[in-house]
Amino acid sequence: MTKKLPDEVMNAWQEREGPLVLITVSKNGIPNAIYASIVKIIDDGRIAVVDNYFDKTKLNIDEGNCKASALFIASGHKSYQIKGSVEYHTQGPLYEEILSWADPKHPRKGVAIINCEEVYRGKDRLA
Ligand SMILES: Cc1cc2nc3c(=O)[nH]c(=O)nc-3n(C[C@H](O)[C@H](O)[C@H](O)COP(=O)(O)O)c2cc1C
C-alpha cells in the first residue's frame, strides 16, 4: 500500500546532498543501482525520477511488478531509504508535470514514480 512520506523525510529531502541512488530489481532478483539528480517529490508525496538515460533501469521496470529502493543523504549524515513499487509514465498528468520543470536539454523520455511502501532513517523504520 502506498504511504505518504513522513514530514521528517520531506524536510530532509530539502537538504539532501548529492544525487539520489535508485535501485531497481530484475525479475531474476538482480539489483541495479543508478545515480539520479533530476528528481522531485510530487504533490501526493511520491518520488518522481526523470528517465533521461535509463537502460537497465528501464528494462527492470518493463519486466513489470518492479520493486525499487531510493536512497539519499541529508545534512548531519542522516540517510533515508524509501522502498516501494515503480510506475512508469510517458504521457498523462505525471509526465506533463515533469515537462514543466525538468531541463529540456535532456531527453525526458518518461518518468518513474516510486510508490512509498517502507521508509527508513538508517536502520530505523519511520513508516
Ligand atoms: C550524478 C549523476 C546523475 C544522474 N542523473 C540521472 C537522472 O536524473 N536521470 C537519468 O535518466 N539518468 C541519470 N544519470 C545516469 C544514470 O545514473 C545511469 O547511468 C543510467 O540510468 C544508465 O544506467 P542503467 O543501465 O543502470 O539504467 C545520472 C548519472 C550521474 C553520474
pLDDT tens by residue, 19-76: 999 999 999 999 999 999 999 999 878 999 999 999 999 999 999 999 999 999 999 9
C-alpha to C-alpha distance for 79 and 17, rounded to whole angstroms: 10
- Cα 102 to ligand 1 centroid, rounded to whole Å: 14
What is the phi-psi region of residue 108: left when phi exceeds 0, alpha when psi lies from -120 to 50, beta otherwise?
Answer: left
What is the identity of the amino acid at 20? L
Helix (H) or strand (E) holding 98: helix 93-99
**Greatest CA span in the chain, whole angstroms?**
39
Q: Is 23 exposed, middle or buried (0-12, 13-18, 19+ CB in 10 A)?
A: middle
Q: Is 37 helix (H, G, I), strand (E, B) or coil?
A: coil
Q: Are 50 and 39 in contact (CB under 8 A)?
A: yes
Distance CA(53)–CA(49), nearest Å, equals: 11
Q: Report, as an integer, the average pLDDT of 69-88.
A: 96
- Tell the residue nearest (CA) to atom 5 of ligand 1: 36
**Res 33: pLDDT:** 98
Domain boundaries, the chain: 7-125
DSSP state of 5: P
Mutate to test the pocket of ligand 1, among 17, 34, 47 (most ligand atoms within 8 A of CB): 34
Domain range 7-125, its CATH number among 2.30.110.10, 3.30.360.10, 3.40.50.20, 3.30.2350.10: 2.30.110.10
Task: Give the 3-state secondary structure of residue 97.
Answer: helix
Per-residue pLDDT at 2 exceeds 90: no
Instruction: Say if residues 112 and 54 touch (Cβ distance below 8 Å).
Output: yes
Task: Report which ligand 1 atom has the smallest distance to the Cα of 36.
Answer: 5
pLDDT band at 1 (very low <50, low <70, confident <90, very high): confident
Ligand 1 atom, smallest distance to 33 CA:
26
List residues near ligand 1 (CB under 6 A): 19, 32, 34-38, 50-57
